[in-house]
Every structure is written in structure tokens, then in C-alpha cells.
A and B are shown apart, each in its own frame.
Chain A
Amino acid sequence: MPSTGARTMEKRLSNDSRQNDPSREEQYVLEARSVTAGYGTKTILRDLDLRIRPGEIYALLGANGAGKTTTLSLFLGFLAPGRGEVRVDGCDPVAQPGQARQRLAYIPENVALYEHLTARENVAYLLDLAGQAENGAAIGTALAGAGLDAAAHDRRVSGFSKGMRQKVAIALASMRKVPALLLDEPTSGLDPQATVEFNRLLDLLRAQGTGILMVTHDLLSAADVADRIGFLDAGSLREEVAASGADRFDVRALHRRYGGQIA
């Protein structure tokens, strides 16, 4: 069970005070303010507060059913909050779904691509739908930048592994140059080498200024790449820890507290 002691509260207060300090006037690319949401009569998220800055990787961890994927659905506009506000780079994803989705990219746990198309054609098609026509050479550069072998660029994706599909999705996300990226269990099913490679790609996107929200079970991978980690429990953010500064997180301590819940 997670500690609810003074140490946890101190960290939360420390983070909250930094985020809520009016003198900083920070812009958030992804923001959920006191959000309560659910499906039908079932409430999944309770009073959730989440803020992600440009160029920040935020890992949201939690057990199955804690509300991680529901949080992503909120930002995608697939689910309307019952209470509270959700913003994607200042846009309301329910009232302005088109504008909000133009400002974010989404990579699901199992990247769904068009099996009858090649990697290059998939990226071109999805870019086109996002209102951004690019030539094949630029797409090839992005695919190569995402680590996909040149030989695979013009192969149909039906034979691609999960890692290769993720590289296509990363190439798409990097070309869209959106301020926010949502990742759903990005490293589940990836071998350690592919996970390291994936984290390298996230670093590149972070360097471009993209704010990234990843929901995951993988504490070690999250600790490796994230700037901040939030622990979701029964729809509420139980604790938030940062990767640097005085409140830098201790993976071993986190694993001791949450390992049983999130693994």
C-alpha cells in the first residue's frame, strides 16, 4: 500500500506549489483541472489534477482500472468530463475536438496501421488527414530518424513487429510537430533493446518541445525516461514525484511502495 505519510504529502505540496505559483504563469500543453469522469453511472476518475509542460515527459502509473486509459480518452475528446476542465494546448477536446486533435498525436498500446499500405504510405495518408501534406523524401527522413530500416520504408506493414509499428507512429508524431503526445503502454511487449530505442526517440521528441503523457505499468522504463511520475489510484492522483532537484525520485523506494500495484 502506498504511504500516505508526511513525506508523500511534502512532495505533493512541493509539486503543487511549483505548478500553482501564479508568478510563473506557465503554459501547459495538457491540463486536467479537478476532473471527475466515468462511463454511465460508474465513476473512474475523481478530482484528477494533471498538468504537463512543453518538453516534459510525464509518466502516469497505476494498476489496471485505475483510470490511466480513461485519462487519455479525456484528452482525445472520446470522453467528456462530468466535472472539471480538460485542455489540450488551450483547446477543449469536447467542445473543439478538431482543434484539440490537431494539437496532439496519439500512439496506442498496439499501433494500428493500414495493413495494405507501406510504412511510407501510412505516414503520408495519416499526415494528409491531419491536413499536412508531405513528400515521400521527407517521410523517409522521418522514418529513418525514428530508427526504421530504409528497406522497410516501402514494405507493407502487415509483417511489421510491434517495435517497427511504434517507429512508424513515432515518425508520424515527429512530422506532425504537435505540442502534445499521448502514449498508451508504449513499452509493453517490447524487448529491453527496443525499449531503450523507444526511450531514445522520446528524448528526441522532448528536445523538440513536445509535452508527452505516457501511461504505463513499467516503473523502470518510466523512471528511465520521465521527468515526472504520477501514481494513479482509484481515479485519483495519489502521488507525484520529479526526476530532478531535491525531490528527485528514488526508483527503489517507489517500487517498494507501488511495485505490487503497478506491475
Chain B
Amino acid sequence: MSAATRIAREEWRYLLRDRAAVLSLLLLTVLTLLAAFNAYEHQHNVNAERAHYQAEANHAFESQPDRHPHRMVHFGHFLFRPLNPLAAFDPGIDGFTGNTLFLEGHRQNSANFGDVRQHSLLLRFGQMTPAFVLQVLAPLLLVFFGHAGVARERESGTLRTLLAQGVRSRELVMGK
């Protein structure tokens, strides 16, 4: 077993014996589950809302009296884009690109009503989704633990002991 693997195993054992680390991992798991539940509810509500408005738009379009097709094209039609099932994990750029398209003749409109129009750019950090927890909070926690692992060796004096066993600095950092 390489020194880096042995150090990693030992770090894992330390984290398991350390209440703060176990608590952090537990909180992260709970947060991920809550985020998954929240994202599922959000997607369900958004889709229901968009389906409702889509039905209204369809009804308004179909309720038009008989007209020339060209005039109907000018009358236009709203399309509400439903959310992809994977958007429950990560909504992607939906909040920035908008979700409503107005189709009309001779013009190519862009999507409207992106959530970002009503919020600041911090919108991305406000969405409680599993992707946010796993892509932003979990790596942050890993950086904290990795940094703390090396700093702890230095502060407790075990760094010199480790190096004196022939461990290289690179192996130590890789293990952590």
C-alpha cells in the first residue's frame, strides 16, 4: 500500500472518530435529502403551473373565430416549456433563459420571464437543489477537511514525525 493511500485511510479513520466530521457528513446528507424533496416539489408545482397556463393559451387560441391562417399567425401563440425530469436535480439555465415563448409570424422572439429578471444574479445560490448541495457545499467541505488535515499535522507536530518516517510532502497532500 502506498504512503498516500495509507495516509488517506488514516484520515478517514480520523474523520470517523471526529464528531465534527461525522456531524458535517450527516448534515450534508440531510441537506441533500431535503434539497431533493424541495426540488421535486418545486418541479411538480412549476410543471403544474405551466401546464395550467399552457391549457389557457391553447384554449384562447382555439376559441378564435374562423380566420385566415395568416391572421392567425399574426395573432400568435404562447408556449410554456415544461421542465425536464433531470431539472429536479439541477435546473440548469432555465432560470436565466426564460420559460415562455411567444410564437408569431415574421418574428423570432426569444424566451421570456426568466426567474433572473425578478432576482439578482445570486439566484444560482438560492436554489436549494441536490446539485447545489453536491456541487457547491460538498466540495467546500472537502476543501475545509483537506486543508484542516494538513494544518493539523503541522500544528500538532506530527508533520515532522511523518516526514522523518520517509513520507514525502507530495504523498501527504495526496493522502489528505
Contact = CB atoms under 8 A, between A and B. Distances in A.
Interface string A100-111: 011011101011
Contacts, number: 56
A111 B162 CA distance: 12
B157 A129 contact: no
B52 interface: no
A115 interface: yes
B158 to A, nearest CB: 4
A129 B166 contact: yes
A116 B16 CA distance: 10
Nearest to A115: B156
A98 interface: yes
B167 to A, nearest CB: 5
A6 to B, nearest CB: 41
A126 B158 CA distance: 10
Contacts of A232: none
B20 interface: no
A135 B65 CA distance: 90
Contact of B163 (A78, A111, A113, A115): A78
Contacts of A78: 160, 163
A130 B158 contact: no
Contacts of A97: 166, 168
B170 to A, nearest CB: 11
B68 interface: no
B166 A128 contact: no
Interface stretch (B2-10, B75-83, B92-100, B110-118): B2-10
A113 B156 CA distance: 8
A37 B47 CA distance: 73
B164 A116 contact: no
A125 interface: yes
Contacts of B62: none
A129 B156 contact: no
Contact of B3 (A104, A106, A108, A129): A129
B1 interface: yes
A260 interface: no
Given A116-B14, A116-B18, A129-B6, A101 B163 contact: yes
Contacts of A131: 166
Given A101-B164, A116-B13, A126-B161, 16 more contacts: A76-B160, A97-B168, A101-B163, A101-B165, A102-B166, A106-B160, A106-B161, A108-B161, A112-B156, A112-B158, A125-B10, A129-B3, A129-B6, A129-B7, A129-B165, A129-B167
Interface of B: 1, 3, 6-7, 10, 13-14, 17-18, 156-158, 160-168
Please list the 6 inter-chain residue pairs (A to B) with the smallest Cβ-Cβ separation, ordered nearest first. A112-B157, A106-B164, A101-B166, A130-B165, A129-B165, A112-B158
